[in-house]
């Protein structure tokens, strides 16, 4: 290791490492936000979401608009519909706002025996334990952030009012909404809903509703070749008493509501590039100029401009590689350190994606080489004697 380290470049490597750590850490925060927004977008574009009439999508899907079995049957008959998946989605904490469904913890009730309607989330990968299975009752599969914030693991018990659910599985990280889901069977979710909503309980008790009517919404899948926006409009026209979201419009709505985060993301990314880039370019250039005397000596010994440039580029690449390697390690250390605390609250602030790390390495190598080449070309304009004089 000692032999591989470019001797005399300790402070240069350190300088680059600090700049690159900043770039990677800020980039990882931007990646985290970006993945969250992308995940939500992918979700809404993968299905047509239908809720009971009178409620907006944000509220209706999670807070009460009933979608009865009769309505679901009507939706299934609309040409172009491949399948309808009834769902019950409730906020875990009913007192919290149900506006931002992407950021709150949700109880998700679904029928594990039915195929998934969402084209982009056909399966959710399991990190520990197992998925929900047909016939499951009284068990839950938790999103990874949900599990962390409630300090639950496979075998643990999730209380939900008077009901209790045994945790049988933990989902893998998705970096988007499912990370904060508690998934139970549709029947269990209906039970939770009935116990939570006295009005609903009274209506149900009077015989006005069956259990099959207790759905907060449904995910609708379309047949191959069908335009999902057209189908959504068709459902809205043909089925009365439902609130249908147009996938592209919901996506647009999500993008608009997350515009601030997108702008923040661009700002963070730009800041990271400028800070990291300037730091690296300045450090490499300074390191080359610091060796101006050595260049004079080498030219006195017969080095041509091309030979010097080759040498300097080689050194700059080596130094940049060490610097970026240390910087990435530093950022990973800080990121994982911070996230290990944040995860207790079910949060994750950093996401060190392969594309971020790859970009950082390529960016550092390119910029390091350019800075070194610029400095070398400046120095080779000097005569060897002048370079030696200036460096002595």
Binding site for other proteins (CB under 8 A): 6-8, 293-294, 296-305, 307, 383-386, 388, 392
387 close to 299: Cβ distance less than 8 angstroms: yes
- The residues with which 136 forms a beta bridge, in sequence order, are none
CB of 262 to other proteins, least distance (A): 47
* Gyration radius from the chain CA atoms: 29
Q: Helix-strand-coil percent breakdown of the chain, rounded to 5?
A: 55, 15, 30
Nearer to other proteins, 230 or 386 (CB): 386
**Hey, how many other C-beta atoms are within 10 angstroms of the C-beta on 171?**
23
Nearer to other proteins, 80 or 384 (CB): 384
* Closest-CA residue to 149 (of 349, 348, 344): 344
Nearer to other proteins, 362 or 377 (CB): 377
CB of 369 to other proteins, least distance (A): 20
Handedness of CA 212, 213, 219, 224 (dihedral sign): positive
Measured CA to CA, the distance from residue 234 to residue 360 in angstroms comes to 47
Nearer to other proteins, 8 or 115 (CB): 8
CB of 304 to other proteins, least distance (A): 5
Q: What angle do CA 379, 381, 382 make, to 5 degrees?
A: 75
Q: Three-class SS string for 318-375?
A: HHHHHHHHHHHHHHHHHHHHHHHHHHHHCCCCCCCCHHHHHHHHHHHHHHHHHHHHHH
CB of 271 to other proteins, least distance (A): 34
CB of 392 to other proteins, least distance (A): 6
CB of 384 to other proteins, least distance (A): 4
CB of 177 to other proteins, least distance (A): 54
CB of 330 to other proteins, least distance (A): 25
Which tokens sit at 58? 């944000």
Nearer to other proteins, 6 or 58 (CB): 6
Nearer to other proteins, 25 or 319 (CB): 319
Nearer to other proteins, 345 or 386 (CB): 386
75 close to 81: Cβ distance less than 8 angstroms: yes
Give the DSSP letter string of 28-89: HHHHHHHHHHHHHHHHHHSSEEEEETTS-HHHHTTS-----HHHHHHHHHSTTEEEEEEEEE
Nearer to other proteins, 272 or 387 (CB): 387
**Hey, how many other C-beta atoms are within 10 angstroms of the C-beta on 231?**
23
């Amino acid at each position: 290791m000692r032999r591989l380290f470019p001797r005399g470049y300790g402070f240069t490597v350190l300088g680059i490492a600090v700049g690159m750590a900043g770039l990677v850490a800020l980039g990882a925060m931007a990646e985290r936000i970006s993945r969250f927004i992308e995940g939500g977008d992918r979700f809404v574009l993968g299905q047509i979401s239908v809720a009971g009439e009178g409620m907006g999508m944000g509220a209706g899907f999670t807070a009460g608009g009933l979608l009865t079995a009769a309505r679901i049957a009507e939706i299934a008959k609309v040409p172009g519909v491949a399948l309808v998946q009834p769902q019950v989605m409730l906020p875990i904490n009913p007192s919290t706002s149900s506006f931002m469904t992407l950021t709150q913890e949700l109880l998700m009730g679904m029928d594990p025996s039915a195929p998934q309607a969402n084209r982009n989330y056909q399966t959710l990968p399991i990190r520990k334990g197992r998925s929900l299975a047909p016939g499951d009752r009284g068990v839950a599969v938790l999103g990874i952030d949900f599990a962390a914030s409630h300090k639950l693991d496979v075998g643990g018990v999730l209380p939900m009012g008077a009901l209790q659910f045994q945790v049988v599985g933990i989902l893998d990280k998705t970096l988007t909404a499912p990370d904060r889901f508690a998934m139970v069977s549709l029947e269990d979710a209906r039970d939770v809903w009935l116990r939570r909503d006295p009005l609903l309980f009274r209506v149900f008790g009077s015989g006005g509703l069956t259990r099959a009517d207790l759905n907060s919404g449904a995910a609708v899948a379309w047949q191959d070749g069908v335009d999902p926006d057209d189908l959504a409009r068709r459902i809205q026209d043909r089925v009365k008493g439902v609130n249908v979201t147009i996938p592209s419009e919901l996506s647009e709505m999500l993008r608009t509501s997350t515009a601030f985060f997108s702008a923040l993301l661009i700002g963070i990314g730009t800041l990271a590039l400028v800070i990291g880039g300037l730091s690296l370019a300045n450090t490499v250039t300074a390191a080359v100029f610091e060796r101006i005397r050595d260049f004079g000596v080498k030219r006195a010994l017969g080095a041509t401009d091309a030979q010097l440039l080759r040498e300097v580029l080689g050194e700059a690449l080596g130094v940049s590689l060490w610097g970026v390697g240390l910087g990435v390690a530093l950022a990973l250390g800080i990121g994982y350190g911070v996230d290990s605390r944040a995860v207790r609250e079910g949060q994750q602030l950093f996401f060190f994606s392969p594309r971020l790390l790859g970009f950082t390495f390529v960016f550092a190598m390119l910029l390091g080489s350019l800075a070194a080449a610029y400095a070398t070309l400046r120095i080779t304009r000097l005569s060897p004697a002048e370079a030696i004089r200036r460096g002595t």
